[in-house]
Amino acid sequence: MMLMLLLSGIAMASIAVAVAPEDLRYPAAPRSATVDEYHGEKVADPYRPLEDLDALATRAWIEAQNALTNAYLEGAPRRPAIRERLTALWNYERYTTPFQEGGRYFYGYNSGLQNQNVVYTTESIAEPGKVLIDPNALSEDGTVALAGLAPSKDGKRVAYAIADAGSDWITWKVRDVETGTDLPDEIRWSKFSGAEWAPDGSGFFYGRFPEPREGDDLKAANYYQKVYYHRLGTPQSEDRLVWKDDQHKDWRADATVTDDGAYLILTLGKGTDEKYRILWRPLGDEAAEPRHLVGDFDYDYTFIDNEGPWLYFRTDRGAARKRVIAINVNHPEETAWREIIPEAAETLEEVSRVGSKLIATYLKDAYTQVKVFDLDGKLERTVELPGIGTASGFRGDRKSTETFYAFTSFTRPTTIYRYDLATGESTVFKAPQVGFDPEAFETRQVFYHSKDGTRVPMFLVHKKGLKTGKETPCLLYGYGGFNIPITPSFSVANLVWLEMGGVLAVANLRGGGEYGKEWHYAGTKLRKQNVFDDFIAAAEWLISNGVTSTPKLAIEGRSNGGLLVGACMTQRPELFGAALPGVGVLDMLRFHKFTIGWAWIDDYGSSDDPEEYRALRAYSPLHNVRPTCYPPTLITTADHDDRVYPAHSFKFAAALQAAQRCDNPILIRVETRAGHGAGKPTAKIIEEAADKLAFLTRALEMEPAGP
């Protein structure tokens, strides 16, 4: 049987001609008789062998699937033109928002088609910078990426993290800024952690997990995180343990050094919810045990900065859409708290201290508003933004007189602005030049009602003056989870879709962070079906309002959005013309058994709980595949995805292919030496975007005009 699977993989890999839908021959997936029991119910898991990524049968199946997908895409005549247009548009200069440390500026730059951004530094923002870190020189294929950057307080050294092939595992190194050479220091087995320097530059705090067993680094669950202090010039084995909790394997901590060097703040979390426990100690007292200040994993307490013994936090305690409070370390009782910025009608998203100001970023119907307050919470001004879009950045310290922010929208490439704290004036620092006319497109926001009557916003973007109808192709995108808002942003791939005459629809579903805590919780655990109902209602609104029709309507989502697409296409397969589930969480009964999946129980619940199991079983995409006609589907994942284990996509693809009862293709594209998405090389991003758009041209039978 093994030999047959290997031979079939080799045979499929030799395909070189385009495949018609009716000629699709899906590779046989390895199977087993595995049956699990959940609370008295037996559930078969026939494709369990695909969870072994390194098994010969799995590798052969991946090769065969990739060959089949490529052969099908060869039948999309616009594929080369789409790739060419994507490449041309992507070839523009891009900058990240500069920030200052120790009298130096640091920023990222990409000349256009470089696989990874290059880090530059300069003493004057008006002068050209010099290259500090070029990740493109670290690998031939561009798959080694920068995953973190932390300059010391004097700006003389930077701790920087690199990730290989898209993995969440990072390795910290230290570079001398003046000479551009690396020190011998190296920190391994860090994940989901930054680096926080001591004020004197002698070393930094970081978080790490225990070293996994050989071969388990991309699969095993990550528990028992610890925080250490690394002193420069010493081996990692001598790093000083700062915090651990052997009684709670799911607790983890992020270390923050206050800007004045007075305190070490430890923000403890244990899932994905913004519910924290705050510990603190005087930074200089290494022997002191961190003391509890506030929180017991019940509310958000996101540390902003301090003013003497007063610690400023963003919180949802007493404010569903969040506010800013100050807590005195010597009198932490709630009766002594000070409210600095009260809750507003808009959702408070981020707060930073820059100079003597608090800069607060709000969301109003999923687009950004920015307000500037003094340290007592008095509103000083509103930052005038270029339009409806997304602003981010606003980094600085208490000595800063300026800050930088980025602004983007669906048709505006990310532009970097310098903001003068004294005058409140924004000036363009770097504006990209992309080869298209943004005035040729329009964006509008509509509101529709979900199944239970909830009012949901949705952005619609298309060519100006486009007359939509049943023949108009439409791509509906959503996410709906983990308190993450989906806000306007520029995408070259989406721009090419718009140029091809398509409509882009972005629905702001429950489960996200658009409207605060209640909006988020309304799409979690036993209420997760609300998210799918919101997305289905968006599709129905687009059809009933003459924007598109089922044969021309595609749906797309990634990660939690991949779950969204998988659930909706299995619940309503007749509603959609195509489906693009990317790096999705698709096996809802076993997601918590891989890497960091256990942390998602905050949003999803767990099959270990009887009531939550029933809810998960009711919508789990893998477990709701049945023999029927599914829309044309292209599943995308990557072999080094240690965030959402790729077996989710493998098993879902195998189940769909076996259940398909019409000629619509069910395909999977497995990227090699890539992960969940962060750090993916530009070349791989372009190739994947070209393949997805080419797939849609075939699936939706789009006219040959366009790229």
pLDDT in tens, 286-315: 999 999 999 999 999 999 999 999 999 999
CB neighbours of residue 151 within 10 Å: 25
pLDDT category, 41, cuts 50, 70, 90? very high
Residue 294 near residue 333 (C-beta atoms within 8 A): no
Domain boundaries, the chain: 344-433, 438-699
The side-by-side arrangement of strands in the sheet containing 203-208 is 196-197, 203-208, 226-231, 240-243
Which pLDDT tens digit goes with each residue over 169-204?
999 999 999 999 999 999 999 999 999 999 999 999
Tell me the average pLDDT across 406-435. 96
Residue 552 has pLDDT above 90, yes or no: yes
Grade residue 672 by pLDDT with cuts at 50, 70 and 90.
confident
Verify whether residue 607 is a known catalytic residue: no
pLDDT band at 12 (very low <50, low <70, confident <90, very high): very low
Sign of CA dihedral 661, 662, 664, 665: positive
- Of 230, 592, 623, 676, the active-site residue reads 676
Cα separation, 516 vs 639, whole angstroms = 35
Cβ–Cβ under 8 Å, residues 586 and 563: yes
Q: Which of 163, 153, 152, 170 is nearest to 207 (CA)?
A: 170
Q: What angle do CA 170, 589, 63 make, to 5 degrees?
A: 60
pLDDT of the residue at 215: 83
φ, ψ at 237 (rounded to 5°): -60, -20
- Percent share of the chain, pLDDT over 90: 90
pLDDT tens for each residue of 119-133: 999 999 999 999 999
**pLDDT at 167 (0 to 100):** 86
Chain mean pLDDT for the chain? 94
Residue of 392, 409, 559, 649 marked catalytic: 559
Q: Output phi, psi for 81, to 5 deg.
A: -70, -35
Work out the average pLDDT over 154-166: 94
% the chain with pLDDT above 70: 96
What's the pLDDT score for residue 101? Answer: 96
Nearest of 446, 592, 602, 589 to residue 523 by alpha carbon: 602
Q: pLDDT band at residue 165, thresholds of 50, 70 and 90?
A: confident
CATH 3.40.50.1820 fits 438-699, yes or no: yes
| Catalytic status, residue 292 | no
Which residues have C-beta within 8 Å of that of residue 357, sequence separation ≥ 6? 372, 373, 374, 375, 380, 421
Q: For the residues 329-344, what does the mean pLDDT come to?
A: 97
Give the DSSP per-residue string, 568-631.
HHHH-GGG-SEEEEES----TTTGGGSTTGGGGHHHH--TTSHHHHHHHHHH-TGGG--SB-PP
